[in-house]
Amino acid sequence: MAHYCMAKHSVRVFSDVLRRELNHRKTEIPSENVSVVVIEPIFYKTPIANVETIARQRANAFERTEEHIKAAYSEEFRRNLDTSAADRIGKLMRDNVGEVVDALEAAVTLVSPKLYYRCCGYGHVLTTFAASHLPEALLDWFIARRS
């Protein structure tokens, strides 16, 4: 999930910077203003979040990996990733993809849209916010204990 998280974080940071750079262009005429809005959906029951597909892709990548890199990991480590990822994604998975569609619609139709639309439910936002403010060593320890 590292590559996925890095890509999503990069989009978020880029959007924040772009919004701040464009902020000085605000005018009295709303149609001339540019809004930068971030839509942050969590996992929805779609093909991209299918845990079986993710596990197959991970196994395929592991098989194609050079032997000296495989030696640094193990088949057991990879299987543990599959199990822990399935467990975590399963707990976060949401059914109503319409939440994301509604956020997209609001972002493009409202005169003053929110800066962020977090499509994941309040509990996940609170947990993510709290985790992001823990000292790194404590967060690493907590994650390691859950794996």
120 or 97, greater pLDDT: 97
d(CA 46, CA 97) in angstroms, rounded, equals 8
Burial of 36 (0-12, 13-18, 19+ CB in 10 A): middle
Alpha helices in the chain (DSSP H): 2-22, 51-64, 67-72, 75-92, 98-109, 122-132, 136-146
Domain borders along the chain are 39-120
Element (H, E) at 118: strand 116-119
User: If we measure between CA atoms, which residue out of 55, 52, 49 comes closest to residue 79?
Assistant: 55
Report pLDDT for 118.
Answer: 81
- What's the alpha-carbon Rg for the chain, to the nearest Å? 19
d(CA 42, CA 49) in angstroms, rounded, equals 10
- Which tens digits make up the pLDDT trace of 133-142? 778 788 777 7
pTM confidence score: 0.64
How much is the average pLDDT of 37-66?
A: 84
- Which tens digits make up the pLDDT trace of 66-119? 988 888 887 788 778 777 777 777 777 888 889 999 999 999 999 888 988 887
CA-based angle 19:48:94, to the nearest 5?
80
DSSP helix/strand/coil, 143 = helix
d(CA 94, CA 90) in angstroms, rounded, equals 9
d(CA 16, CA 145) in angstroms, rounded, equals 33
Residue with tokens 């994301």: 100
